[in-house]
Amino acid sequence: MSFREIAVTIRAVNRASAEFSRIQTDAEALSVRVKSLGAAIAGLGATGLAIGHIAHQFGILNDEQAKVFNSAMMVVTVMGMFMRTSMGVAIAQKVYAAACWIATAAQNSLNISYATFLALTGVGIAVIVAAAAAMWSFASSMNAATSSVQGFNAATSEVPSRSRGVQRAGEQAMYRRGVE
């Protein structure tokens, strides 16, 4: 192994290390955001509990309504507190990864449909161009054939009529066979 191969290996490790550091930074930033969101949700649940208690004290909510409302706010508070734990962050990251996968799949399908549209549009234009070229070629062949027939007719009209009446021996029998 030479020094050059070692240097290449070291550079490759350094580039990979930078990417791993970037991934770690992104994961930590997502963790901080999830924990902040969890704290906000827990605070919203606690605020809801306080509002439910005050509404029950002032008679806005009866006992049954206050019980249901406070139970719902407790669930919100527990969800917020759970999001602040490491397990909650891990689940949030998995949900985020699944959402990214769905978004990527949707974007890929849109890209595929757009590429298909472009390919079909390109093929459609190519078919139209090919059809136009074939029509031009056919029209040009027909013009050449028409010109040839006109030239033959012009040459035949110059031949005296007595020469045109000359037939080869047996030609009449061939004409009769074609009719029969």
98 backbone dihedrals φ, ψ, rounded to 5°: -65, -40
Question: In tens digits, what is the pLDDT along the chain, a chain of 180 residues?
Answer: 555 555 555 555 566 677 777 877 887 888 888 888 889 999 999 999 999 999 999 989 899 999 999 999 999 999 888 888 888 888 888 888 888 889 888 888 877 777 777 667 777 777 788 889 999 999 999 999 998 888 888 887 777 666 656 666 666 666 665 554
Give pLDDT, residue 140.
92
Q: How far is CA 112 from CA 99, 100, 116, 125, in A?
A: 20, 18, 6, 20
Give pLDDT, residue 35.
87
Calpha distance 174→32 (Å, rounded): 102
Provide the residue ranges of all domains of the chain, joining segments of one domain with +: 1-84, 93-180
Counting Cβ atoms within 10 Å, is residue 89 exposed (0-12), middle (13-18) or buried (19+)? Answer: buried
Is 68:110 a contact under the CB 8 Å cutoff? no
Give pLDDT, residue 164.
59
Give pLDDT, residue 95.
85
Calpha distance 32→84 (Å, rounded): 9
Q: At what angle do helices 3-57 and 86-158 cross, to 10 degrees?
A: 110
Calpha distance 166→159 (Å, rounded): 12
Tell me the CB-side half-sphere exposure of residue 35, using CA atoms within 13 A: 10
Calpha distance 115→117 (Å, rounded): 5
Tokens of 39: 């704290």
Place of tokens 């004290």: 57
